[in-house]
């Protein structure tokens, strides 16, 4: 208002049109942080932003090892706060400040190639100080000349375009980590298996103890049940035993009674009958014996006569039996006499035996009743 201009905190006011005093003085006046009169028509005021701006750069770069990397970087920059920087930047960008970021990005593409080219992949990833120095050498000095201060340069991503270099960098560590993880997993599995097996062992042990205890209790129960089950039959058997004993007594009494009855009814009469028969038989036997004796005495005389009549025939038959035999007795006169004497004695013996046989035939039928009467009942 009325030619008084106040720049914003992030702006520089450039006033041109008035001659500046001093030999090395700028041809225009730079005002920051406070207001100033701008005389209309004679002077002209324009602003230059001092705010931070950013430019994004995506560039294929070669590392120190010759590896191709696709690098994406973000650079944050601003116009320097000192008058020298403002003046340098104003000369370059005052006309079209909106193009500042684009221009800086293009400039910075070359710087990025230079930065990456001076480093290895490992240094880019790990060494922040080396990266900062590389940025300083490659970029900040040149940017300073055009009045720009680089506040920050961040590499947001790098890609080795399928070369797997970065992956390979991680491989040893990855393998180590995997190995540790596998070892830890195996140890955990081992501990788990041990615990599980131990648990199974304990479970089996407990089951065994339970089974043993159950079997013991079952055995006791069975024993008691058997005892209980046999108590009934046992009592019944004992009762039956008592009954049988009583029955035995009854039977014994019955037997005694029967015996007494039999004795009274059968034995005594039988004994009496037997005694009667014996007596009768004895009397008959005696009679028979007497009659037989008489008959034998008569029969023996007749038999002797018959035998004597047949004796010469018997001797002849004996002699004929010896006639066939070609026997020679060498015993002298005595021997011959012995043969004759023996023949005579044999004839006598034959005679005796024949007579005895006849005698037995004659006495046979009469002797039988006498033998039967010898049998007497014992009761």
Partner 1 sequence: MTGQTLVGRLGRVTTRVRGGPLPGEVRLVVQGIPHYYIAYCGQALAVGEQVLVINNRGGRQLDVELWRQAGADDDLPLTD
Contacts with partner 1 by CB under 8 A lie at 80-85, 88, 129, 132-133, 136-137, 140-141, 144-145, 149, 151
Minimum gap (Å) between residue 75 Cβ and partner 1: 14
Minimum gap (Å) between residue 85 Cβ and partner 1: 6
* 138/285 with CB nearer partner 1: 138
* 78/285 with CB nearer partner 1: 78
Tokens 């880019």 — which residue? 124
Q: What is the DSSP string of 96-123?
A: TGGGHHHHHHHHHHHHHHHHHHTS-HHH
Minimum gap (Å) between residue 182 Cβ and partner 1: 42
Tokens 């400039």 — which residue? 107
Q: Which residues contact 346 (CB under 8 A, 6 or more apart)?
A: 318
Minimum gap (Å) between residue 11 Cβ and partner 1: 14
Residues 339, 341, 346, 351: is their CA dihedral positive or negative? positive
* 75/149 with CB nearer partner 1: 149
What is the side-by-side order of every strand in the sheet holding 148-159? 53-62, 68-79, 148-159
Minimum gap (Å) between residue 30 Cβ and partner 1: 9
Q: Is 212 left (phi over 0), alpha (psi -120 to 50) or beta?
A: alpha
Q: How far apart are CA 66 and CA 117, in angstroms?
A: 8
By the 8 A CB rule, do 79 and 50 touch? yes
Determine phi and psi for 163, rounding to 5 degrees: -75, -15
* 10/345 with CB nearer partner 1: 10
Minimum gap (Å) between residue 40 Cβ and partner 1: 28
* 87/121 with CB nearer partner 1: 87
* 57/79 with CB nearer partner 1: 79
* 150/285 with CB nearer partner 1: 150
Q: Which residues contact 145 (CB under 8 A, 6 or more apart)?
A: 88
Instruction: Report the C-alpha dihedral over residues 348, 351, 356, 362, rounded to 10 degrees.
Output: -150
* 112/138 with CB nearer partner 1: 138
Q: In the numeric block, which tokens belong to residue 262?
A: 């039999």
Minimum gap (Å) between residue 136 Cβ and partner 1: 6
According to DSSP, the residues that pair with 75 across neighbouring strands are 55, 153
* Count of positions (residues) in the chain: 379
Nearest Cα to Cα of residue 93 among 22, 4, 154, 12: 12
Minimum gap (Å) between residue 152 Cβ and partner 1: 11
């Amino acid at each position: 208002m009325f030619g008084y201009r106040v720049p914003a905190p992030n702006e520089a006011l450039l006033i041109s049109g008035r001659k500046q005093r001093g030999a090395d003085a700028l041809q225009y006046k730079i005002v920051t942080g406070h207001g100033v009169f701008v005389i209309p028509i004679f002077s002209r005021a324009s602003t230059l932003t001092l705010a931070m701006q950013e430019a994004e750069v995506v560039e294929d770069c070669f590392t120190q090892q010759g590896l191709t990397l696709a690098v994406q970087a973000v650079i944050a920059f601003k116009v320097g706060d000192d008058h020298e920087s403002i003046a340098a930047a104003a000369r370059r960008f005052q006309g079209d400040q909106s193009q500042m970021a684009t221009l800086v990005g293009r400039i910075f593409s070359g710087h990025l190639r230079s930065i990456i080219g001076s480093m290895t992949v490992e240094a880019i990833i790990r060494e922040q100080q080396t990266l900062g120095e590389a940025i300083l050498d490659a970029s900040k000095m040149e940017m300073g000349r055009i009045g720009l201060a680089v506040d920050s340069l961040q590499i947001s991503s790098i890609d080795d375009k399928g070369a797997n270099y970065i992956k390979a960098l991680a491989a040893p560590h990855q393998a180590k980590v995997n190995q540790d993880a596998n070892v830890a997993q195996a140890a955990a599995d081992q501990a788990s298996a041990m615990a599980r097996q131990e648990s199974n062992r304990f479970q089996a042990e407990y089951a065994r103890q339970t089974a043993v205890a159950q079997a013991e209790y079952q055995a006791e129960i069975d024993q008691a049940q058997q005892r209980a089950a046999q108590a009934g039959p046992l009592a019944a058997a004992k009762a039956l035993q008592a009954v049988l004993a009583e029955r035995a007594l009854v039977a014994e009494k019955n037997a005694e009674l029967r015996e007494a009855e039999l004795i009274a009814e059968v034995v005594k009469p039988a004994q009496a009958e037997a005694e009667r028969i014996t007596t009768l038989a004895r009397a008959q036997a005696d009679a028979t014996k007497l009659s037989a004796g008489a008959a034998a005495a008569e029969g023996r005389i007749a038999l002797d006569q018959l035998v004597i009549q047949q004796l010469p025939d018997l001797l002849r038959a004996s002699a004929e039996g010896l006639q066939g035999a070609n026997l020679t007795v060498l015993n002298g006169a005595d021997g011959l006499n012995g043969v004759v004497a023996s023949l005579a004695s044999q004839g006598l013996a034959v005679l005796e035996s024949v007579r005895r046989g006849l005698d037995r035939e004659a006495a046979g039928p009469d002797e039988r009743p006498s033998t039967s009467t010898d049998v007497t009942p014992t009761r």
